[in-house]
Amino acid sequence: MFCVVGFLFRFFSFVVDEMVLWFGADWPYQSSPHLGKIECMSEQPDGMDAVSAALAQIDAGVDALQAAVVSSVSSLGLTDSVRRLETLMLRAQSGSRALVGEMDRRGVAAELFATSTADILRQLLNLDPRAASARVRQAREWTPRVAVTGELLEPLFAHVAAALDAREISVAHARIISDTRTALPAEIDTLHGDAVEALLVEHALTLHPKDLRAVAQRLIDTLNPDEAFTDDADQQRRRDFRLIDNPDGSSTPAGRFTPELTALIRPALDALSAPQPAGDIPDTRTAGQRRHDAIAEALTLSTALAAFPTPAGSRSRSASSSPKTTSPAPRAVRPSSSKTPTAPRSASTPWPRSPPRSRSAPSP
């Protein structure tokens, strides 16, 4: 069976390649070694547009550069060539941002049945999802915007965009400056945001990114020494939570909670993460381990007692839940042969994980 499928797949690929050779550029379905790529376009341009012509010239220049014999270049010539090539790469990045920005504004993702512009870049360029999202974010922040009325507006960070287009700063510099202004409260940004951005761009001309980050942090500490965000809009804008996947299947949490969510989480976390000695045996878990186990216990209780939306959108209740039950549930205890242990437990021995505690309903 697998041999037949493999033969049919190779035969189909051969037929497609032959059709490409026969019809040339007019054949819209191009075979690709990467499955799932966006390689099939229903419409092909009749002629070479200005962007395609410019890219063809860049291709020719890169071919000539790769074929050049660099061993004959002097030391000063090598350093000058590296500087000029870096400038050309920055200019090419500026052109790439312009193309991605136009794709995003035009809604090309909907035309190609993709979920987003980042999804197109991920498939088209075989990028990591984070890298694809970063490119879209750069295009939205550092390229001109279009208003609902069709009016062309300046970029969100105009000074950064101008310096990037002039090849005066790198993307690393630009990211630091944009993040610094984003970190400012709305009230401070309204009063000083433009001046902060311009000042950091000026420093970026002579400082490398590490030193520029230190200057940016000093500015934030000066303008907002308490790191307070009293405006509710700032809190809502900065709220965030994500899990960073680790190779072993675990994850690292990161983000920022609003004061309201913090007020809900902290009391429950403190109550569930209290030390739980088993008789004379102390709880050897660290405070961080107890908080980790408290989150697991709270989620287990919530899953058993509440209905959660399924990926399809409907709400389902766990089979173990019983909303009408009023009889108290037994309290789970740590496994122990007797209240007095026969042998002391070593501090290095990991504490056995206790089963989730179930809250008892009040006695009638």
Please list the ranges in the chain whose pLDDT falls under 50.
Answer: 1-9, 11-12, 15-16, 19-20, 22-37, 40-44, 317-364
Handedness of CA 338, 339, 344, 345 (dihedral sign): positive
- Give pLDDT tens digits for 122-175: 999 999 999 999 999 999 999 999 888 888 899 999 999 999 998 899 999 999
pLDDT of residue 307: 58
Taking the whole predicted model, whether its pTM rises above 0.75 is answered as no
pLDDT of residue 120: 94
pLDDT of residue 239: 84
- 8 Å CB contact between 358 and 327: no
pLDDT of residue 292: 92
Q: What is the CA radius of gyration of the chain?
A: 30
pLDDT of residue 332: 42
Classify residue 278 as left (phi > 0), alpha (psi -120 to 50) or beta: beta
Q: In angstroms, rounded to a whole number, what is the distance separating the alpha carbons of residues 176 and 190?
A: 19
Classify residue 279 as left (phi > 0), alpha (psi -120 to 50) or beta: left
Beta bridge partners of 281: 278
pLDDT of residue 339: 42
- Residues found in the chain: 364
Query: In which residue are the tokens 């037929």 written?
Result: 15
206 SS3 class: coil
pLDDT of residue 98: 92
Q: How many CA atoms lie within 13 A of 361 on its CB side?
A: 10
pLDDT of residue 364: 42
Query: In which residue are the tokens 């390689």 written?
Result: 39
Q: Which two tokens stand for residue 121?
A: 């870049």
pLDDT of residue 234: 72
